[in-house]
């Protein structure tokens, strides 16, 4: 293994495919299947939201487990293990319709996905270590392009599948995304084998300056709580508005395509600022995208919303990874990114179930999108207060 692989962009592509599986598929494809599962299994919005809360609870456990294991196990091994097991969890989710089975595999997909996702940033940070601009681009591509590809693929396929075969075909949706994940495994595992990131115990442990990082931490928590509402309930809201399967697919493809190109937009911002400004700007964009479908009438609103939301939503992980890289020594990057992931994961558990309850009480899931936008705006304001650590 080497710190400077001969094909760094190919290595990055493999890491990004890992994010496609652990984020684009394991976390967000459920939002596309939710209307069918809710209808076929006679769920309330709260029950439908519960499955993504279950996934988020698993993500908390996985993030904490990763923080413990990172002291003894190399990030490369954690990334590879998480990628393989997440793929397996996706494949078996559709085998049984019972809520307990769905909950079990949503939890395990969260556990395993967190292990792979939270180490992917640490691995990508090893690329182009002597070139800050390329390093920032690599981090942005990892989170933006990886997740965007997953949403484009699932968004293009799943609504059309359900439209043609009926809502009863939702189990085949899980098989489809699990099978696609299998195709991505070889390059993802090869990329992990090309990189060396030290165990935390190989370097002197340096405590994280958490109090001085408070603005970034709270802003990232608001991101976890707010963004997931849109991705969980967007298809359900569009279905309530009598949108056709083709229109829903189009919206998700636009959303994923914008996620895919978002690193180009945010690369110079991430490279230029060591403060909380990039995270604040990104959260403001996510908030606007979340609110637009509800506050702006007409079919153009979901399209504009998908563009704005997509250009921003996968960039907070890149923002906090870049923040850690610019403000902390290399031996602290893994611990810092892991801690950010835990904070994010805990906050993420609140969003889906709470949004489902609000939707049930209001009789309109659109109200939940507005509440989520308010949470995101608050997080943006707090992140804006974060200064570079060397200026504190």
Q: Are 118 and 222 in contact (CB under 8 A)?
A: no
Q: Are 21 and 184 in contact (CB under 8 A)?
A: yes
**Higher-confidence position of 241 and 198:** 241
What structural domains and CATH numbers belong to the chain?
8-391 (1.20.1250.20)
**Which residues lie below 8 Å from residue 252, measured CB to CB, with a gap of 6+?**
32, 151, 152, 154, 155, 156, 159, 234, 235, 306
pLDDT tens digits for range 291-340: 999 898 888 999 999 999 999 998 898 889 888 888 888 777 777 887 88
pLDDT tier at 8, thresholds 50, 70, 90: confident
Report which of 215, 227, 213 is spatially closest to residue 350, judged by C-alpha positions. 227
> Rounded to whole angstroms, how far apart are CA atoms 136 and 319?
9
Q: Model pTM greater than 0.85?
A: no
Res. 7: pLDDT tops 70: yes
pLDDT (mean) for 16-44: 90
């Amino acid at each position: 293994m080497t710190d400077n692989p001969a094909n760094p962009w190919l290595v990055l592509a493999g890491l990004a495919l890992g994010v496609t599986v652990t984020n684009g598929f394991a976390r967000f494809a459920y939002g596309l299947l939710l209307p069918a599962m809710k209808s076929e299994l006679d769920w309330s919005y709260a029950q439908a939201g519960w499955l993504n809360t279950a996934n988020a609870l698993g993500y908390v456990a996985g993030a904490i487990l990763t923080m413990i294991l990172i002291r003894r196990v190399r990030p490369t091994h954690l990334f590879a293990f998480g990628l393989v097991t997440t793929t397996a969890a996706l494949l078996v989710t559709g085998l049984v319709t019972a809520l307990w089975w769905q909950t079990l595999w949503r939890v395990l997909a969260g556990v395993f996905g967190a292990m792979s996702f939270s180490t992917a940033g640490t691995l990508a940070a090893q690329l182009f270590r002597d070139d800050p601009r390329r390093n920032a681009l690599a981090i942005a591509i990892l989170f933006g392009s990886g997740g965007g590809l997953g949403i484009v693929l699932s968004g293009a396929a799943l609504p059309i599948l359900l439209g043609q075969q009926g809502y009863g075909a939702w189990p085949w949706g899980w098989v489809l995304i699990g099978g696609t994940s299998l195709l991505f495994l070889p390059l993802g595992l090869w990329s992990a084998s090309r990189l060396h990131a030290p165990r935390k115990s190989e370097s002197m442990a340096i405590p994280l300056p958490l109090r001085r990082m408070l603005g970034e931490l709270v802003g990232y928590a608001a991101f976890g709580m707010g963004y997931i509402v849109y991705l969980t309930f967007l298809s359900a809201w569009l279905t309530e508005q009598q949108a056709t399967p083709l229109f829903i697919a189009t919206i998700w493809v636009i959303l994923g395509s914008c996620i895919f190109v978002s690193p180009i937009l945010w690369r110079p911002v991430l490279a230029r600022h060591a403060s909380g400004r990039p995270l604040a700007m990104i959260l403001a964009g996510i908030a606007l995208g979340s609110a637009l479908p509800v506050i702006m009438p007409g079919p153009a609103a979901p399209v504009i919303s998908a563009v704005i939301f997509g250009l921003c939503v996968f960039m907070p992980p890149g923002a906090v990874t870049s923040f850690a890289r610019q403000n902390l020594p290399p031996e602290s990057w893994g611990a810092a990114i892991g801690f950010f992931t835990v904070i994010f994961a805990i906050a993420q558990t609140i969003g889906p179930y709470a949004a489902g309850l609000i939707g049930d009480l209001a009789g309109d899931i659109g109200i939940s999108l507005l509440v989520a936008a308010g949470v995101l705006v608050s997080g943006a304001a707090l992140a804006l207060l974060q200064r570079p650590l060397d200026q504190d």
